[in-house]
A and B are shown apart, each in its own frame.
Chain A
């Protein structure tokens, strides 16, 4: 198959690009595209053309997905060709040139069963595959089989593929492995089966456990019953043991209660209340006595203490002065340091001022303070100055750039082609497109005319009109419709007549047959006597009588006459017979008169019918003549048209057909006229388009039709419009650049104005800051910092001054206060002469003693008041206690206080005995295990207290024993139940069975996988070996030649050798040296693979339909000589099949152009 043309209608960067690959018998086509030119897109397009545009493509950046279009023109060796369009999509992507849809498999015949994968693998090579091929040879140690098979299939990584298969298989199984999946699975299966046997529960095992359990249940039942019996007995004995002493105790308490007799029951708190009242009375008496005594003592003490002294009155003033004394002293000690600091700040201020403004003294420095107030403004102005400078610079730079851009645009304008007005061309194109696809329309008209003419001719032939008349159809004198109608009616009338006559004839003959039959029937049934019969019978009678008379009268021998008349016999004997016969006929005539009449009527009828028949025959003859006349008239009407006219009843149809023929004939003429008119129009359009094109540019027009011419013109139009767009774009840019220059100038001016305004403001801000002119921004800022320091030092000195003055003022106030106090205390003399500090100190100490004394005095008075209150309270308490005791006496019904204790004792005894009785009864109820006291008394009657203990002992021993046995039995039962429960649970064995099936399922899958891999590996090794054996000789021979060429005779040939019992490939130097693959350089190995591949491709071209061999930039690593040699070799291959070489490299293109024979080399630049 050869690709004649690859049309890049809309694909990648291409629009309506055509690569003509038709040159050469096959041709080496070098498609050259520098980077970005779309070389890779073109290569993808070639694949996409043949096998479809992939769903995800990188070639839809200019044209959207749905618009991607490719076109192609292919040819098979046998000469079959196909032209088609390829669209993007999943189905129905093939179209004919006229847009009609082609079958998806329309290309199959041209692709000869080569799928896309195989085309790419075998019929293509790129740099990566070349390098991989070389590497495979190295990795396979030049294995001959692998190398040949790889070259033969285009496959790579064959060696690693075999290894991959074997390794995959080994992960599944190894004969002596344990950790491989299959080995593991087999081991697991064995383990599970073993485990399953262990967990199987047999029927015996179950039955045994079940029986044991039942026995244990029965035994536990018996033991439990016995145990309960024992427990009941034990309980009864224990009860008796408990209640017997209680009954004895109850009897004793009952007796004592009776002994007490009647007793007043006192409240339970009576005794306490009595004791409390007695204690309270006693305490109240004592308190009263003590309080009276203390009051008298305190009264004496208060009298001994005197009034409050004056110093205590001045206590606050003294304390205040003493507290101020400390700070007074501290201020005095701080004062000298403050004086020093003040002086230091003043010196600093003077020094700094001398440095910045020697013209000013400290007082004058105050004038500087206003600048500090402007500090923010000055800083803002300083930074604004920087921005203004930068803006000015930018504006200047922008102006300069715009001017440069303007210069460049001016130069570019001079390089643009002159403007061409495409209007005429556009008009011509639009006019040419006005009628749509005119050429198709013309073709349609031609076909219509042809089809109509053919149909017309066929119809004429069917109408049997002589060929000579075809051109004179419209002049033929065909009978008019009216005439035909007349003929039809006449013929119809004749037909009807004929039908009526025939029917009449049939009726007559039928009736005649019926009449004949009637006559025949009348005659044959019994001959009807006629008048003639009667006359004959009578004549015979009368003859016989005459004969008799003759015989008798004349004695004449009448025998002979009698014989003739009557037959044999005697005349005399026969005569009566004749008489009888004549009478008989006469009788019958009379008796059968109806039948006679019927016969007569029938005969008459028949006669009439015979006449009718004759009449009918005559009418038939007349009719025949009329038919003949009509036919002659018909022929006459047609004589100018047809020799043999159609039958009358077909005449109308013939005329209708003829009318259609006439119509069609007119259509033919009209279609031809339209066709000719369109043809002329197309010619005009072509001329007009070519004229319009040529007026714009010397265009070479192919001798194609209108659509091609339109397409060519359209491309020219697009190009011109493209140029126009460039020019418009250029004009827009120039306008923009001029505007930019103008804007930049304005910016420069504005920057200047702003700078001047700034200068004025600056002067306002800093004028007079320093001696002389306005300082620069940075200087001004430095000076400001200095002034700030000067003013801060001056301020600090002032602060110190204020603090010193404060100290002096406080000292004077202190001294005045001291003197005032001394005056109040009458100690003025003590503070004379500056001894204030010592006086205050002493006074403070004295005050402490005076204050202590005064506190004692106050306490004594307070105590006296409290003691007086106590005496009143204690007296009241004494009286209350007496009243309480009196009330208690009444309650206990006692006459004297002394009886109270006895009454209390009796009440308590009765209460205690009563409580004991209740307690004992409660104990009885509690100890009685739910029985009533009466029942217990019943049970106890006659009980032997001493025997109870013995019986209890025996019962306890038996109880322990039974209980022990029962516990054992229950344990055994629990064990048996657990065992049964275990047996009853989910079937572990069935879970193991499930595990076995799961393991088998896994193993089945793994075994199939393993076997598939092993079979694949084995088959591949075998096939590689087979291929080597069958193809080694021819392939090596051809590859030798190619290798020699490509290596520029650095190697003489390739040979098979053996290494480690395995055939390998070696190169042989001209000097006979044998170089194994690993001894070759990487590039040479690549070339070795290249030679093998080409040999295989050539062999395949011979074996079947050759396919184009697509080479993608493989020569980059070849040196110049080998590159040129490789191109020669490819040119050589091109004599067997089309070779399409894609390249980015100029030197490859140049090298290809330099190749001469043997095949044609065509370079296409993208």
Chain B
């Protein structure tokens, strides 16, 4: 009986995205997160006395040039060497482009499998054969697995591959292959990489994506880490997910329907955040708060969403003993009064609402708003104008959203000024 660790997509020293360092933000919790997660992986390997470690690609970010990152990797590998644990690695798409991979001198327990053709390494003490082929260039579009040798029945076989399989959502197609191709090789375990979400694709043979080691933005939620595999009699006897992440991403949905006061809204958020923090096993949590439903105090919140954002951030400081970082707050759009009924009235407020609603479809109004936002757009750096989290103020979908938010803001502030309560 022996065990080994399977991890992938480590992306050492790549930063976490989307965390504004507001005043009470637990900044230290996010510092060097990928490094600390990697250290956790190494400790786990040593504590579990694993026979070997396989890393299925993307140790680094492709365009990352700082050699210190590579040195850190070597330092960690040296710890495994001291514990007599060999490491088998295939280069992923990111590693293929990385300067670091080419220049680094690794200790002798670290084996980078060839990128030119499939290579097989034996771990003789455990009758294990490890097969793999790394990426020679950034984009590999042929089925690398097809050329892997067929496994000899007297050994336990691990196939190491960086691949998108038949295609995975939000992941580029690399080294595509199919479960049939993999199954035909007669290996007991396929250690895959590239897809950042944990997935057990098949149990016979085992085909596993362990997910990335540390979530790096709000789309990579939940526990992250590696897979601990137990082998007995040349068969997989157990596959466990082990979390090594140091900061956990979460989307915290809070139903504020029927909440009478802002106090109650904050109370519900607090409870939800506490629950989320409790799930994180003592890790820091980066939470995106999404409010749904219609609260009676909707206008009070709409009148100054920034203020309530600060309130929620302040609230997060005390919800748990673990650090909670509020990444973003999506405020609810539902309101207790029916805007359609209000808009149907033929009076000032009704026509105000109708015209604001029509503005999103009026080229004149859009042109006017674009002009109002032209100054700031010119000043913005390119990173903010493209990509997943772009905030290009001229982008139609953002403008539409801004019109709705501006309407709520105006309505709430007009009402606030117009009522004495």
Contacts and interface: CB of A to CB of B under 8 A. Distances in A.
A1015 B348 contact: no
A58 to B, nearest CB: 13
Interface string A933-952: 00000000000000000000
Interface stretch (A519-527, A554-562, A979-987): A979-987
Interface residues of B, number: 85
A464 interface: no
A1111 B179 CA distance: 77
B410 A1019 contact: yes
Interface in A126-149: 126, 128-129, 149
Contact of A173 (B260, B337, B375, B419): B375
Contacts of B417: 155-158, 161
A152 to B, nearest CB: 3
B108 interface: no
A1003 interface: yes
A1013 B338 CA distance: 24
A90 B391 contact: no
A90 B348 contact: no
Contact of B71 (A175, A182, A206, A1000): A206
Interface stretch (B111-119, B276-284, B376-384): B376-384
Nearest to A1007: B391
Contacts of A986: 32, 35, 68
Contact of A205 (B67, B260, B415): B67
Given A155-B418, A994-B30, A1012 B20 contact: no
A104 B346 CA distance: 26
A1016 interface: yes
Nearest to A1000: B383
A173 B347 contact: no
Interface string A146-170: 0001011111111001001000000
Nearest to B102: A203
A636 to B, nearest CB: 74
Interface stretch (A295-303, A347-355, A711-719, A1098-1106): A1098-1106
Contacts of A173: 375-376, 379
Interface in B301-360: 306, 309, 327-328, 336-338, 341-342, 344-349, 351-352, 355-356, 359
Nearest to B344: A113
A55 B260 contact: yes
A536 B250 CA distance: 118
A822 interface: no
Contact of B66 (A55, A989, A1005, A1011): A989
Nearest to A1014: B372
A161 B376 CA distance: 22
Interface in B247-303: 260-261, 299
A1116 interface: no
A117 B405 CA distance: 19
B344 A202 contact: no
Nearest to B419: A120
B403 A161 contact: no
A121 B415 contact: yes
Given A154-B418, A990-B13, A200 B347 contact: no
B15 A990 contact: yes
Given A113-B337, A994-B16, A1001-B18, A1016 B67 contact: no
Contacts of B402: 1008, 1011-1012, 1015
A552 interface: no
A681 interface: no
Interface string A1010-1033: 111111111110110011001100
Given A155-B414, A1001-B18, A1008 B391 contact: yes
A2 B369 CA distance: 43
B410 A112 contact: no
Given A997-B17, A997-B18, A1020 B348 contact: no
Given A122-B347, A983-B71, A1012-B406, A1018 B372 contact: yes
Contact of A121 (B327, B336, B419): B419
Contacts of A641: none
B420 A126 contact: yes
A983 B70 CA distance: 11
Contacts of B384: 1000, 1003-1004, 1007
A1015 B368 CA distance: 9
A118 interface: yes
B393 interface: yes
A1014 B418 CA distance: 22
A186 B100 CA distance: 30
B367 to A, nearest CB: 11
A515 B410 CA distance: 106
B31 interface: yes
Contact of B380 (A186, A201, A987): A186
Contacts of A1031: 348
A321 to B, nearest CB: 99
A118 B415 contact: yes
A115 B420 contact: no
Contacts of B19: 997-998, 1001
B58 to A, nearest CB: 16
B121 interface: no
B21 A998 contact: yes
Interface of B is mostly: helix
A1015 B379 contact: no
Contacts of A996: 15
Given A153-B414, A202-B65, A1018-B368, A118 B376 contact: no
Interface residues of chain A: helix, strand, loop or mixed (majority): helix
Contacts of B361: none
Nearest to A1018: B372
Contacts of B372: 1014-1015, 1017-1018
B68 A1104 contact: no
Interface string B385-421: 0000101010000110011011101100111011111
A193 to B, nearest CB: 9
Contacts of A1008: 391, 402
Given A120-B419, A154-B418, A990-B69, A182 B379 contact: yes
Most buried by B among A153, A989, A1011, A1016: A1011
Contact of B418 (A114, A153, A1018): A153
Contacts of B347: 122, 152-153, 1096, 1099-1100, 1103-1104
A235 interface: no
B15 A1014 contact: no
Contacts of B71: 206, 983-984
Contacts of B398: 1011
A215 B136 CA distance: 34
Contact of B376 (A201, A988, A1007, A1104): A1007
A129 B376 CA distance: 38
Nearest to A1099: B347
B373 interface: yes
Given A186-B381, A1005-B20, A1007-B393, A175 B356 contact: no
Contacts of A929: none
A684 interface: no
Contacts of A994: 15-16, 30-31
B152 interface: no
Contacts of A1023: 352, 355-356
B375 A161 contact: no
A1117 B156 CA distance: 97
Interface in B63-99: 64-72, 75, 99
15 contacts: A158-B417, A161-B417, A182-B379, A186-B379, A186-B381, A203-B70, A989-B65, A989-B68, A990-B32, A1001-B21, A1003-B391, A1010-B376, A1012-B402, A1015-B373, A1022-B365
Given A115-B337, A1001-B18, A1015-B405, 15 more contacts: A122-B349, A153-B348, A153-B414, A155-B418, A156-B418, A175-B376, A186-B380, A201-B66, A206-B67, A994-B31, A1011-B398, A1015-B373, A1016-B409, A1022-B368, A1030-B351
The 3 A-B pairs with the shortest beta carbon distances in the complex, nearest first, are A152-B348, A113-B341, A1103-B346
